[in-house]
Amino acid sequence: MDYQATLERIHNALKPVIGQGKVASYIPELANVPPEQFGMAVVELDGTVHSVGDAQVRFSIQSVSKLFALTLAFQREGDSLWARVGREPSGNPFNSLVQLERESGIPRNPFINAGALVITDILASRFTAAETATSSFLSRVSARPDVTYNARVAQSERQTSSRNAAMAHFMKSFGNLHNRVGDVLDAYCRTCAIEMSCVDLARAVGFLVNRGVNPWNNETVLDASSTKRLSALMLTCGTYDAAGDFAFRVGLPAKSGVGGGIVAILPGECGICVWSPALEETGNSYAGSLALEMFTTFTGKSIF
């Protein structure tokens, strides 16, 4: 498969629509990101990298970080983790409080904000600094030693985190948050503010592509069964309340973030990441979603 030619074909086809949509302006630092950027990368299991556009530019990975925080928490907790967070699609916006009351403070899945706060709480109990643990894990799985967060973005997000604070306090009232709410929110915002490039993230999901084994250092990150289960969660819950439509159009497990990044996996073959900051209404990158749909259409490869 000539992935480089495929990426160039996608980039050329999308040039008229790149920049359409809106950046995540409710986080003031992200409001300043130029929307006309686009990068896409494919990293094969032998390490071969294919890329176009701004694929080497670091961006705020935002909720893409939830995939790696979940993996780290699952390594420590195993299946006991699911007593505190569910595995079902939410069908609601990622920052909705509606289901929490009805479901006694148990978030529907780990990829909505409430679920990610519980995951952060678990990591805060296991590590001195949850955000450092996640960035260090990302360094290992991406073979990029300098993964860290942008302090300005983290502060900007923290200053506008009233709804996340409300969810955290609500879950704490049900006993589903064990650490101080302020500490969990600080760690959560810093984790969301981690910056990586498309190439970095396409490498970082290599262990999910490779049945749980990191292809860059042969570390077993997850067993094959757990890899299957986390990949299934990506497919059903990874792109906010558009997950069903995304699976219908694209057919790959994926995790998106409001920074405009979407990381996806083609099991046994490659990791894929696309970034374009302008979002559609669901919070997914507009051009990024189209790019991944084109990728599976042009290559004829998906999990179906």
Asked whether the CA dihedral 233, 77, 183, 191 is positive or negative, the reply is negative
Question: 23 near 261, Cβ under 8 Å?
Answer: no
CB 263 within 8 A of CB 209: no
Q: Which of 132, 157, 192 is the C-terminal boundary of a domain? A: 192
Rg (CA), the chain: 18
> Which position among 33, 64, 153, 188 bears the catalytic label?
188
Catalytic residue among 60, 63, 156, 161: 63
Q: Which domain holds residue 239?
A: 3-59+196-299
For residue 258, indicate whether it is catalytic. Answer: yes
- Domain assignment present for residue 304? The answer is no
Assess contact for 42 and 265: CB atoms under 8 A. Answer: no
For residues 103 and 201, membership in a common domain is answered with no
Is-catalytic flag, 286?
Answer: no
User: Which residue among the candidates 258, 274, 286, 289 is catalytic per the annotation?
Assistant: 258
Predicted pLDDT at 95 = 61
pLDDT at 100 (0 to 100):
84
Distance CA 249, CA 116 (A): 26
* pLDDT value at residue 94: 59
The question of whether 149 is a catalytic residue gets the answer no
Catalytic residue among 52, 66, 90, 118: 66
221 in any annotated domain: yes
The pLDDT score that the predictor gives to residue 92 is 66
Q: Catalytic residue among 3, 161, 231, 240, which?
A: 240
Tell me, yes or no, whether 180 and 68 share the same domain: yes
Number of folded domains in the chain? 2
Per residue of the chain (304 residues), give pLDDT as tens: 899 999 999 999 999 999 999 999 999 999 999 999 999 999 999 999 999 999 999 999 999 999 999 999 999 999 999 999 999 997 666 566 777 888 889 999 999 999 999 999 999 999 999 999 999 999 999 999 999 999 999 999 999 999 999 999 999 999 999 999 999 999 999 999 999 999 999 999 999 999 999 999 999 999 999 999 999 999 999 998 899 999 999 999 999 999 999 999 999 999 999 999 999 999 999 999 999 999 999 999 999 9
Is the same domain home to 213 and 185?
no
Domain C-terminal end among 152, 175, 192: 192
* CATH assignment of the domain containing 134: 3.40.710.10
pTM over 0.85: yes
63 catalytic residue (yes or no): yes
Same domain, 69 and 188: yes
